[in-house]
Amino acid sequence: MAQLAPIATLLGTGATLLGAARQAQAQSAQARMQQETARARAAGVAAQQAAETRAREARLAGTLASARARLAAGGVSPDEGSAAALAAGLRRDAAAAQADSDAVFSARLAAGRRSLLNDDATLTPWLRAGTTLGTAARSLLD
């Protein structure tokens, strides 16, 4: 009966190591899936940001063209004086709106990122298995 104890310990250790390997594989697959989801979300946010930027640039160009046309129709040179100040103000407002949009974009990307403090537990199953293996070896030597 005393001879069966080391064999049972070795079998238990083997089962623990197999379980640890499967758990590590499952965690690795889950981590890959989460990374793919995060990449897809980031790509979607980036595409939305690009579309908003293009729309904002188109609105600015249209507003500037309209203002220049109205000023030119009124006999004011659209490249000098108050007309140039108006155009500069419109461009400054558009740049501020773009900066705000960029800040929101960065925040949205950062929100999707996992914290470096979150452990992914890829090493944990192996450490547990090593502990079990050490316990088994110690019981065999006793």
Number of domains in the chain: 1
Cα–chain center distance at 105:
11
Query: Both tokens of residue 131?
Result: 């502990």
Q: Does residue 42 belong to any structural domain of this protein?
A: yes
Domain that holds residue 54: 4-112+123-141
Q: Does residue 118 belong to any structural domain of this protein?
A: no
Global confidence as pTM = 0.51
Q: Does residue 97 belong to any structural domain of this protein?
A: yes
Q: Does residue 129 belong to any structural domain of this protein?
A: yes
Phi-psi region of 70 (alpha: psi -120 to 50; beta: other; left: phi over 0): alpha
Q: Does residue 16 belong to any structural domain of this protein?
A: yes
Q: Does residue 117 belong to any structural domain of this protein?
A: no
pLDDT category at 126 given cuts 50, 70, 90 is low
Q: Which residue has the higher pLDDT, 122 or 27?
A: 27
Q: Does residue 99 belong to any structural domain of this protein?
A: yes
pLDDT at position 116: 45
Supply the DSSP string of the chain, one letter for each residue.
Answer: -TTHHHHHHHHHHHHHHHHHHHHHHHHHHHHHHHHHHHHHHHHHHHHHHHHHHHHHHHHHHHHHHHHHHHHHHTT--TTSHHHHHHHHHHHHHHHHHHHHHHHHHHHHHHHHSPPTTS---SSHHHHHHHHHHHHHHHHHH-
Alpha-carbon torsion (12, 13, 14, 19), positive or negative: positive
d(CA 58, CA 94): 11
Instruction: Read off the pLDDT of residues 45-93 as tens digits, 9 standing for 90 and up.
Output: 788 888 888 998 899 889 888 888 888 888 888 778 877 888 888 889 8
9-13, 53-57, 92-96: which has the minimum mean pLDDT? 9-13
- Is residue 2 classed as helix, strand or coil in its secondary structure? coil
Q: Which residue has the higher pLDDT, 46 or 128?
A: 46
Q: Does residue 134 belong to any structural domain of this protein?
A: yes
